[in-house]
Structure 1
């Protein structure tokens, strides 16, 4: 009965997640590339500076390294669902604005397949799009007359990933993941000239697979090292476009075509390394470095150029006494820092991102590893300049992380 219940919950939550296709972010930087790449992940890593390549999946699912799944106990079943709320403030040379957004962040399950191996299935947003360009005035070529343009974009891509991890020895774990990236970005452009209008609707679809491999080495209980490689892939793209104009209140369709071939979008090779160290059996410190080789994709955005991206994240987790009967001794206290130098250069300026993260792992039971994970991030993206906007964001993530829900015996026959 438990299995049927959980399966139904997963199906319903997946439908909710996939139905959210509009205004998942308010960031002006979602105009570029595929949009803003998803900041949130599973469970505790949101509060650890978005890092965790060397961490285990002993009591929570670690989606940053498939090799971590080998550390699951062979009787565990884990489930994680998360949501985020984001408050953004945008500042440029002319104005300041604020927006609030809520979003699904993940749906994941993990389970053992043998005494030395386990699998996970994870659904997350991959990118989010939600921008508005209002009242852009441009001169008509060869004239002093002006026309006004309004542009809105929404949607984004999703990631559906299957991961597998196994233990080669007591100290070495390996893993692999296969990710299906899919979704669409909708853009509507309205041009107003002397109360005559041009409407352009573009719906762009992307899809393809991407592979990941992972490795973890733990020479002792208190120290560990991890690494991952995400292989490059080209997202196959097609576009539906509809163009119409309204002149003297009469609408005429100019173009209406579907599944047009357009340039694919290339995702780069990505390499990450991380370590973790435990002190006094209470404090665990971890740090990651990741590099994405965007230069090698040899592609350009209409508004900028791609460049190699470096990411640094670090975090710590403090746990007083996991066996204590005092609740707050069993709470996990977390904090972290993250920085990346951005992957887009616009007029010789880069869109970097830095953030401070804080969080709590609130235990739900003494009998298993079930938590409510709460994390808060304050970050800054971009700078104020003639072409860029500075974005300050507050990101709140809440994850329900449950263990063993398939193996609890029913008390009612």
Structure 2
């Protein structure tokens, strides 16, 4: 079975080159829930995605719910974002390019009292999209008899994130958030053997809630620490399947939209630590470390395995002054680097991701309204054992609008 699965992995990736124009995301979205998507609010995408210890004083920091207590009183933040990606997929044999634009998120946040705040956000959580035709696979290992496989996969999960923050003291704040995950993936497969075609159409619906506890500790005005603990969670799954055989004698429907059991998906315990240090209120350094304990979920995929994952993020930013009348003095510049070991092991190789980024925050008023622009270049995977290396250029645009609410007009 392992040998057959390894062959399928190689066949899937090899066939990718013939039909790469049909791939909407990444060939690695074949696994699990699909490619997990990380939405980065504000300027965090330019900071190497670091942000666990950053405050939410001029944007909605979705990296740490406890940061929301930094939203100025009576201010209301609304943010929307999108990402454009130009990707090239490369193997030892060929290189292909494709372009894609995807919605990133929309969110709003506001303080409830002097010691509490709330946010709500909608964003994608995962994407599964691949299209492959004409895979030639031996019926039995080592056999000269083959069948042909066509595969079309679509769908993904959404994340409705609800967050609450409470200020325990001038130094310590706590946050609680709940990620409501929902969505479905579809998998349509056709197996051709001689003059007979077996069509299997499968739709899996997912649903689950993942609690997250967060905190930030402000040791001094220039030094802050952050902590995130994401609970291990079971994402419930239900499968609806139709099976039909088409041959010279006609079509035989073996199953029609039949509901059946399927394995639930388990998200691991995830712990993240961050530190943020500012120098003279102009230069800022932030660092995040995260670890996801995938080994403890005891899961595997037909084409690969899940393994513990680590992420390292480092970001730098510079802002001359926020109150200057000179517009260029109020532009914040940022740069960062990110390394993700990945959680997928395919053919004994981890699918890692490394990138660097630059960006800027362009103020739109004298409050916190701003346009955040960042550029990221990165690579994912590697060109070994018939795997694919994905090189990507990513442009991220986030718009944050800041309004003053709940303030009575003053009469002269």
1:175-186 counterparts in 2 under 5 A? 175-186=175-186
Distance 1:154 1:180, change over 3 A: same
What residue is the counterpart of 1:254 in the other structure? Answer: 254
Shift in Å, 1:195: 5.2
- TM-superposed deviation, 1:143: 6.4
Query: Please, what TM-score do these two structures have when normalized by structure 2?
Result: 0.90
Q: Structure 1-normalised TM-score? A: 0.90
Question: CA separation in 2, counterparts of 1:80 and 1:261?
Answer: 39
Report the counterpart of residue 346 of structure 2 in structure 1: 346
| Aligned residue number for residue 317 of structure 2 | 317
1:50: which partner in 2? 49
Given that 2:74 and 2:404 are in contact with CA atoms closer than 8 Å, whether structure 1 keeps it comes out as no
Alignment of 1:9-408 (within 5 A): 25-141=24-140, 144-194=144-194, 196-248=196-248, 250-366=250-366, 368-404=367-403, 406=405
Question: How far did residue 33 of structure 1 move?
Answer: 1.2
> Following TM superposition, by how much is the alpha carbon of 1:92 offset from its aligned partner in structure 2, in angstroms?
1.7
**Helix, strand or coil for the counterpart of 2:354?**
strand
Report the CA distance shift for 1:46/1:74 in structure 2 as closer, same or farther (over 3 A). same
Give SS of 1:355's match: strand
CA contact (8 A) 2:189 2:199 kept: yes
Deviation of the 1:196 alpha carbon: 3.9
Q: How many residues align?
A: 387
Q: Is the 8 A contact 2:23 2:131 kept in 1?
A: no
CA distance in 2, matches of 1:220, 1:143: 69
Shift of residue 408 of structure 1?
8.8
Per-residue deviation at 1:358? 1.2
* Separation in structure 2 between the aligned mates of residue 387 and residue 207 of structure 1, nearest angstrom: 34
Cα deviation code 1:99-148 (max 9, x no counterpart)? 21111110101011111110000111111111223321023449634322
Question: Which runs of 4 or more aligned residues in structure 1 lie more than 6 Å from their structure 2 counterparts after TM superposition?
Answer: none
1:70-93 Cα offsets, whole Å, 9 max, x none, are: 111221110011111111111123
Consecutive unaligned residues in structure 1, runs of 5 or more = 1-22
Summarize the Cα distance change of 1:42–1:408 in structure 2 as closer, same or farther, 3 Å threshold: farther
The answer to whether the 8 Å contact 2:52/2:63 transfers is yes
Unaligned runs of 5+ in 2: 1-21
Give the Cα separation in 1 of the matches to 2:124 and 2:59. 20
> In structure 2, how many angstroms separate the alpha carbons of the residues matched to 1:238 and 1:249?
33
SS at match of 2:290: strand
Equivalent residues of 1:139, 1:146 under 8 A apart: yes
Q: Is the 8 A contact 1:93 1:386 kept in 2?
A: no
Structure 1 residue 179, shift from structure 2 partner: 1.3
Cα distance in 2, alignment partners of residues 61 and 277 from structure 1: 19
Instruction: Give SS of 1:39's match.
Output: coil
The whole-number CA distance in structure 2 between the counterparts of 1:242 and 1:406 is 53
Distance 1:92 1:405, change over 3 A: farther
User: Which shifted more, 265-274 or 124-133?
Assistant: 124-133
**Pair 1:24–1:371, CA change in 2 (3 A):** farther
3-state SS of paired residue (1:43) = coil
Moved more, 88-97 or 401-410: 401-410
Once residues 314 and 249 of structure 2 are traced to their aligned partners in structure 1, the CA distance between those partners, rounded to angstroms, is: 59
Question: How big is the shift at 1:25?
Answer: 4.4
